Chains A and B, each alone.
Chain A
Amino acid sequence: MAVAETHTPEIVSAETAQRRTAWWLTAPALALMILILLVPVVIAGILSFTDYSLGNDTFDWVGTKNYDRLFSRSTYEKMFIATFTYVITVVPLSVGLGLGAALLINSLGRIGDLYKTIYFLPVMATLLAMAIAWEFMLHPSIGMVNRTLEMSCGTFLEIIPFLKNGCADRFPLWLGDRDYAIWVICFIGVWQGFGFNMVLYLAGLTGVHRELYHAAEMDGAKSGWERFRLVTWPALGPTTVFVVTISCIRAFQVFDTIEAFWPQGGGPNKSTYVMMFAIFEKGVQQNLIGIGSAITVLFLVFVMFLTLIQRWLVERKVHY
C-alpha cells in the first residue's frame, strides 16, 4: 500500500503531463476543424430554413420553403439535370479511359512512361487557363476543332452524317449551342480527369501478382479478356472503388469551366447550370443565402452519401 502510494503520484503526474501536452498539440487543429469545417455545415443547415441575406441584421424563418423551391422550380430542375448528366457521363468515361490507358501503358513497359507523362499534364495544368484554351479550340470560325473538321470536307469521311451535315451547312457552335454545351463541358472534364485515374490504376496494377495470371492460365483462361475478367479486374477492386468515389466527388464540384465559358447564367438555356455554379450565383452574387444554403446542404448530402458508400464497400466486399 505504502509502495503504491509513493509511486502513483509520479505516474499520474507523468500521465497528466502527457495528456496536457497532447491536448495542447491537438488544440489548434481541433479548434480549426470545428470552426472551419463543422460550424459552416451547421450554419448552412440553419440558414437553409431562413431568408437571410448579407447586410440584413434580421431574418425570418421560412420553414422548408427554400427546399420546396429547389424541387419545384424549373431552374433547379435544370440544375439537377445538368449536374447529374455531368456526373453520370464524366465518371464512367474518365474511369474507363483511365483504366484502359493504364492497361495499355502497363503492357508496353518502359516506353509507356512517355504516354503516362502526357496524359498526366491536364491534371497539373490550371483548369481555368486550359478552359480558355479550349474555348479558342472550339471557336466556331477560327477554332482548331472546326478547322480540323472542315479539312474532312470533300474527302471520303463525308459519309459520316455528322461531318456531312457540317460540311453542307456549318459545324456546331459548340459552346453557344444548347445541345452541345453540356457535352463539351463533359468532354473537358474527362480530358482533365482521366490521367489522374490512370495513375491510380497504374499503381493498382503493380500490386497484381504475376502468379495469379499463371494460375488463371492453368485453369484455362487463354484469352486476354478472360485473364482481365478473372484476375486483373477483381484485383483492382479496391482501386476502382476509390477511383469512382473520388471521380464522383470531383465531378460534383465542376465549376471552373462553366464560369469561364458563361460568367452569366450557366450556359445556353441553363443547360450547364451545375450545383457549384448555382451556389455561387444564388448565394454569393445574388445574395440569396437561404436558397444557396439549401443547395449547399443537398450537395453535402450527396457527397457524404458517396463517401459513406465507398467506406462501406471498402470494409465489406472488395478485398479479394
Chain B
Amino acid sequence: MTRDLWKHLILILGALIVIAPFYMMVSYSFKSPGEIDRGEGGFFGRQEMMVDERCVKLRDPNREDVAAAVPRFPNKTDSQIRDALVAEAVSDCQMRPIVFNYSKAFTEAPLLRYLLNGVIVTASIFLIQIVVALPAAYALAKLKFWGREAVFSLVLFCLLIPVHAIALPLYIMLAKIGLTNTYAALVVPWTISVFGIFLMRQFFITVPDDLIDAARMDGMGEFAIVWRVMLPTAIPALLAFAIFSVVAHWNDYFWPRIVVTGNRDLFTPPLGLREFKGDGDGSFFGPMMATATVIVTPLIVAFLVAQRRFIEGITLSGMK
C-alpha cells in the first residue's frame, strides 16, 4: 500500500498539471473581468451582478431619447431625465458574469455558424473518405486483378506523406483553380485517406471469402457487395476510423488557416476562436474562454461518454 502511495502521488501531480489549463479555461469562462484581473472568486467566481459597459454605452440617451421620455418623468428637468435613463440602461445591462461571457461568445462572433461549419466540414470529410476508401480497400483485399500489387505499394508509399507537409503545393493548386475560400478547399485535401484504405484492407482480409461468394450466388454485383455485405461487417473498424477522422479535422487549425482568409462564413471553430483572440482587448478574456470551452466541450464530452471507443479510434494508427 505504501508502495502504491508514491505512485498515486506522482500520478496526481501529473494529473494536476494536465488539468490546470482546462480548469482555468472553464473557470475564467464563469468569471467577471474584475475577478479575472485580480485572480479571485474561486472556481465559479462570485457571480455578482455586473454591468456590461458596452451595452450601457450603446444605450447612452441622446436628446431625442430624453425628449421622448418626458411623459414618463413629469416635472423633471432634462438632466434629471437623462440620469434616470442612464440608470435604467445600467440596470437593464446588468447580468451575471456567466451569462455575460457565454452570451458574448455567441453574439460577438457567429459562433453557431462556426460550429455548424465544423460539423459540415468534418462530416463531409468522413463521408467522402469512406465512399472513396471502402471500395478500394475491398478490391485490394478480395479481388484479383492485374496491378493490384502496384496499387497497394502506392498506398504504402502514400502513407509516408503527411498532408500537412504538402499544404503549400495543395494551396497553390487550389488557388489556381480558384477554390480557396470555399467549403471544397476545406474538404478536398482530406478526401483521400490512404490510412483508411490500408486499415480497411487489413480488416477485409479477415472477412471469410465464403461470405462474398454467397453474396455473388445471390446475384449481387461487386458494388452491392461493398455496401451491403462488407460495410456492415466493418462497422466496428469504421466507428474507430470515424472517431479518428472527426477528432483530427474538428481540431485542425493549420489547413483551414491556409485556405480560408477573411471570409467568416467559412470559419471552422478553431479559426473563429483565433479571430476572437485577435480582436479582443484585455477585458474580453471571459467571453473568449467561454468560446474556447464551447469548442472543446463536444469532443471531451463524447470522449468521457465513450472512452474505450475513443482511445481505440485515436490510437488506431498504432494497430499493426
Contact = CB atoms under 8 A, between A and B. Distances in A.
Co-assembled chains A and B: yes
The B contact surface, by secondary structure, is helix
Interface in A108-164: 108, 112, 115-130, 132-134, 136-137, 142, 144, 147
Nearest to B15: A118
A121 B26 CA distance: 14
Contact of A128 (B4, B194, B270, B303): B270
B160 interface: yes
B21 A246 contact: no
8 contacts: A25-B223, A32-B132, A125-B299, A128-B270, A130-B292, A239-B318, A260-B274, A293-B169
Interface string A227-246: 00000000000110011001
A284 B258 contact: yes
B158 A38 contact: yes
A2 interface: no
Interface string B147-189: 1100100110011111111111111110100000000000011
Contact of A118 (B8, B19, B311): B19
A32 B25 contact: no
B231 to A, nearest CB: 13
A43 B188 CA distance: 17
B169 to A, nearest CB: 4
Nearest to B310: A124
Contacts of A289: 168, 172
B235 interface: no
Interface string A273-298: 00010011001100001001100100
Interface residues of A, number: 87
B52 interface: no
A273 to B, nearest CB: 16
Interface residues of B, number: 94
A41 B166 contact: yes
A23 interface: yes
B208 to A, nearest CB: 18
Interface in B273-318: 273-274, 277-278, 285, 288-289, 292, 295-296, 299-300, 303-304, 307, 310-311, 314-315, 317-318
A28 interface: yes
Interface centre among A23, A125, A195, A284 (most CB of B within 10 A): A125
Nearest to B270: A128
Interface stretch (A4-12, A211-219, A248-256): A248-256
Nearest to B16: A118
Given A33-B158, A133-B292, A108 B145 contact: no
Nearest to B300: A124
Contacts of B250: 126
Interface string B12-23: 001101111110
B21 A30 contact: no
B170 A130 contact: no
- Top-6 shortest CB links A-B: A29-B136, A40-B169, A32-B192, A22-B145, A25-B135, A129-B292
B314 A196 contact: yes
A276 B254 contact: yes
Interface string B116-157: 000000000000000111011011100111111001001100
A26 B140 contact: yes
Contact of A126 (B37, B164, B173, B251): B251
B182 to A, nearest CB: 16
Contact of B7 (A21, A108, A242): A108
Contact of B173 (A43, A118, A119, A144): A43
Contact of B139 (A26, A97, A128, A200): A26
Given A122-B18, A284-B258, A132 B273 contact: yes
Given A19-B146, A28-B132, A28-B136, A137 B20 contact: yes
Contacts of A283: 168, 171
A30 B257 contact: no
Contacts of B24: 133, 136-137, 144
Contacts of A88: none
Contacts of A29: 132-133, 135-136, 192, 197
B39 interface: yes
A262 interface: no
Given A37-B163, A115-B11, A283-B168, 8 more contacts: A39-B169, A40-B173, A43-B173, A142-B37, A259-B274, A279-B168, A280-B258, A307-B159
B269 A105 contact: no
Contacts of B226: 25
Contacts of B315: 196, 199-200, 203
Nearest to A16: B145
A115 B15 contact: yes
Contacts of B163: 36-37
B270 A117 contact: no
Contacts of B159: 307
B296 A130 contact: yes
A255 B303 contact: no
A299 B167 CA distance: 11
A44 interface: yes
B296 A125 contact: yes
A33 B300 CA distance: 32
B318 A284 contact: no
A304 interface: yes
Most buried by B among A19, A239, A263: A19
Contacts of A97: 14
Contacts of A292: 168
A195 B8 CA distance: 17
Contact of A121 (B18, B131, B162): B18
A284 B254 CA distance: 12
